[in-house]
Amino acid sequence: MAEDLERFCNLLAGSGREADGGEWLESLDPATGEAWALIPRCTSTDVDAAVEAARAAFRSPEWRGLTATARGALLYRFADILAEEAERLAQIETHDNGKLIAEMRAQLGYLPAYYRYFAGLADKMEGHVLPIDKPLMHAFTRREPLGVIACITPWNSPLLLLAWKLAPLLAAGNTAVIKPSEHASCSTLAFVELFERAGFPAGVVNTVTGLPQECGEPLVRHPDIAKIAFTGGEPGGIAIYRSAAENLKKVTLELGGKSPNIIFGDADLERAVYGAVSGIFAASGQTCIAGSRLLVQRNVHDEVVERLVAIARTARIGDPKLADTQVGPVTTLAQRGKVIDHIASARQSGAECVLGGGLPTVEGLEGGWFVQPTIFTGVDNQMPIAREEVFGPVLAIIPFDDEEEALSIANDSPYGLAAGVWTQDIGRAIRMSERVEAGTIWVNTYRAVSFMAPFGGTKRSGIGRESGQEAMDEYLQTKSVWIDL
């Protein structure tokens, strides 16, 4: 292990910490395949210490004694510091997970708004006075935090997906132990250092890094964790749900998707085609909301395919650290292997590959984990390429005849995270947004997210909602107080 690599430490009770056992894991740069940084390899000993720090902070007068308005003020201050540090954090995350620097700058530019939105909600979580049906009794409700929350995040958007959890849970008065993905922990470790600068009491925010079995599982099992907020793949989500059930812990699960992006013949095709391109190829297809099933009405099918291929063919594949790169690598070597397997299986099941389908050679980045933007036509919704999440730059195009058929294909999926509908018929837009089974429906747009809009899945895409006022409900519990006058 190279001694000269940058070392990122965990945050524990307000101080930077190596793993108790002194071990480190390499963090690899997906654009080159080489190690660029080290993160602590934590075990259950580190998890115990982090949870204890978070539990002590939860009960401390420095945190629990703060008014909700004062908590909001801390979050506002934190958002200002985050805005100052945005460029540095964007560069670290690009190094770590290969996401385009242009995309990261846009994401980090928007991120402080999440913390400001929830800062504003901190002192608006009101209880009620109950018109109780007993003489001389007074009763009211209080909305209280849950305790220590475990935030477990994936590699594709560590800081954004953490904000969806951390901003509301802190506004609600909880404390946190964060476990980022072992493949991309560095931006999170640099980010949490900012909490002390903002004046948060030590122990309110803590991190542990490492492997799922060594560090994730002990965190999930820990008796002092009140709730687990998880974003990641289905196997991890099921394992966590199972473990949470045994200990009756609350969960929010944001899992995978196979989102339909539906282009009707009456759509503005120029906009629809660009929406389809960004729907699937942003972040090299590694987003849970990827519009990976493109449903196209038969009367515009050939024109849409032609335009899509023409745009995707010219996408600049390259180093994600350069501002004009349009397609970067996938985050891990294993993920690239999975994407290539999905492509092979699509070919085997009879889909026609009309673009890409292999590994590009990018000069200077031969060691990187790139996959060509890939488009399949002639896909049947029963083929594995239409049913399984690829999490890579692979689009499956499925033709349909009319609205009923589009709807039945769209809903014939185990997932229900998001969907796009492209049409100029307002009646159709409303009918489809009512009948498509998904947590988010975009009409004549794709991929829009905001701190104001609740986000989450139906069916196998998850449990609970993040963002918007609903997110506060995920981190509060109601207490009834009775007083005999």
Q: Name residue 129's beta-bridge partners.
A: 140
Under rule CB under 6 A, residue 462 binds ligand NAD: yes
Under rule CB under 6 A, residue 442 binds ligand NAD: no
Under rule CB under 6 A, residue 173 binds ligand NAD: no
User: In sequence order, which residues have a C-beta less than 8 Å from that of residue 70 and are 6 or more positions away?
Assistant: none
Q: By CB under 6 A, what part of segment 237-276 binds ligand NAD?
A: 239-240, 254-257
Nearer to ligand NAD, 74 or 288 (CB): 288
Nearest-CA neighbor of 261 among 442, 458, 416, 430? Answer: 442
Which stretch, 112-120, 122-130, 236-244, 380-388, contacts ligand NAD (CB under 6 A)?
236-244
Strand order of the β-sheet with 352-355 is 352-355, 374-377, 394-400, 293-297, 260-263, 418-422, 440-443
The answer to whether 26 touches 220, Cβ cutoff 8 Å, is no
Shortest reach from residue 34's CB to ligand NAD, in Å: 20
Extended strands (E) in 264-393 = 293-297, 352-355, 374-377
Matching residue, tokens 């190596």: 18
Shortest reach from residue 466's CB to ligand NAD, in Å: 7
Token pair belonging to 305: 């395919």
Under rule CB under 6 A, residue 225 binds ligand NAD: no
352 is catalytic: no
Matching residue, tokens 């196209």: 296
Nearer to ligand NAD, 228 or 406 (CB): 228
Nearer to ligand NAD, 237 or 356 (CB): 237
- What is the Cα–Cα distance from 216 to 44, expressed in whole angstroms? 9
Q: Tell me, by CB under 6 A, how many residues bind ligand NAD.
A: 30
The phi and psi torsions of 182 (rounded to 5 degrees) equal -60, -20
Shortest reach from residue 212's CB to ligand NAD, in Å: 4
Nearer to ligand NAD, 173 or 232 (CB): 232
Token pair belonging to 338: 């999975």
Under rule CB under 6 A, residue 161 binds ligand NAD: yes
Under rule CB under 6 A, residue 154 binds ligand NAD: yes
Q: Per the residue annotation, which of 254, 389, 466, 474 is the catalytic one?
A: 254
Nearer to ligand NAD, 139 or 463 (CB): 463
Nearer to ligand NAD, 248 or 485 (CB): 248
The CB-nearest residue to ligand NAD is: 216
DSSP state letters, 206-273: EE--S-IIIIIHHHHH-TTEEEEEEES-HHHHHHHHHHHHHTT-EEEEE-----EEEE-TTS-HHHHH
Token pair belonging to 12: 């524990």
- What is the Cα–Cα distance from 166 to 224, expressed in whole angstroms? 18
Which stretch, 134-142, 226-234, 263-271, 375-383, contacts ligand NAD (CB under 6 A)?
226-234
- What is the Cα–Cα distance from 207 to 47, expressed in whole angstroms? 9
The answer to whether 355 touches 397, Cβ cutoff 8 Å, is no
Nearer to ligand NAD, 207 or 326 (CB): 207
- What is the Cα–Cα distance from 438 to 436, expressed in whole angstroms? 6
Of 38, 220, 263, 394, the residue at the interface with ligand NAD (CB under 6 A) is: 220
Of 8, 58, 117, 155, the residue at the interface with ligand NAD (CB under 6 A) is: 155
- Mark 132-151 with x for binding to ligand NAD (rule: CB under 6 A) and - for no binding: --------------------
Under rule CB under 6 A, residue 464 binds ligand NAD: no
Nearer to ligand NAD, 103 or 182 (CB): 182
Which stretch, 59-67, 128-136, 227-235, 429-437, contacts ligand NAD (CB under 6 A)?
227-235
Of 288, 296, 330, 398, the residue at the interface with ligand NAD (CB under 6 A) is: 288
Of 112, 147, 236, 275, the residue at the interface with ligand NAD (CB under 6 A) is: 236
Of 152, 189, 282, 438, the residue at the interface with ligand NAD (CB under 6 A) is: 152
- Mark 369-408 with x for binding to ligand NAD (rule: CB under 6 A) and - for no binding: --------------------x-x-----------------
Nearest-CA neighbor of 186 among 39, 301, 60? Answer: 39
Token pair belonging to 173: 């008065």
Extended strands (E) in 317-457 = 352-355, 374-377, 394-400, 415-416, 418-422, 440-443
The phi and psi torsions of 414 (rounded to 5 degrees) equal -70, -15
Of 40, 72, 232, 468, the residue at the interface with ligand NAD (CB under 6 A) is: 232
Catalytic positions: 254
Chain residues that interact with ligand NAD, rule: CB under 6 A: 152-156, 161, 179-182, 212, 216-217, 220, 231-233, 236, 239-240, 254-257, 288, 389, 391, 417, 457, 462
